[in-house]
Amino acid sequence: MKLILTAPQLAITIKRLANQVLENNINLDNTVFIGLQPRGIFLSDQIVREINNELPSASLQYGKLDITFYRDDIRNGLHVANQTDIPFSIEGKTVVLIDDVLYTGRTIRAALDALLDFGRPEKVELCVLIDRRYSRQFPIQPDYTGKSIDSIISQKVKVFWKVKDGKEEVALVD
């Protein structure tokens, strides 16, 4: 196991991602944040919290999206869905999709399909903690990246979250 981000580095990276999103979305009235289930919501919760700390008077629209039944790469067996909670319209809005790891692009493709059930956004931006470059199966690139890494197909990126795993760090596992 090789450590990619320690807990302090992870905290700094999350704060930087939140600030980058704010730099490009000055007026948050037309911006919504959507975390991808299951593991992207741990990142999105923290990014939204950071933005709320920076702009306490802003009224952020934040939802969570489950893409289980929109995936094209998981066909076998019964899948347990997570909860989708998007209590607002995304029609004409800038949607900031947030996920922990960008790998093949299939999760994001599925998320784009799922988003259309909630309206037609004006723009979709992608924010990821880890971008596994050179692994894409779809032409999808992040707008906001915490860290880009090069890895081989047999390796896995594991993001540990304190609320779920008892520690916060990102590791590359062989």
For residue 30, the 8-state DSSP code is G
> What average pLDDT does the structure give for the chain?
92
pLDDT at 148 over 70: yes
pLDDT of residue 70: 74
Query: Can you tell me the mean pLDDT for 84-112?
Result: 94
Averaged pLDDT for residues 103-116: 93
Q: Alpha-carbon distance 39 to 112, whole Å? A: 17
pLDDT exceeds 70 at position 80: no
d(Cα 102, Cα 136) in Å, to the nearest integer?
Answer: 8
* Per-residue pLDDT tens digits for 112-132: 999 999 999 999 999 999 999
Q: Distances from the Cα of 155 to the Cαs of 149, 151, 159, in angstroms?
A: 11, 6, 13
The Cα 99–Cα 129 span in angstroms is 7
Of residues 98 and 38, which shows the higher confidence score?
98
Domains of the chain: 2-74+81-173 (3.40.50.2020)
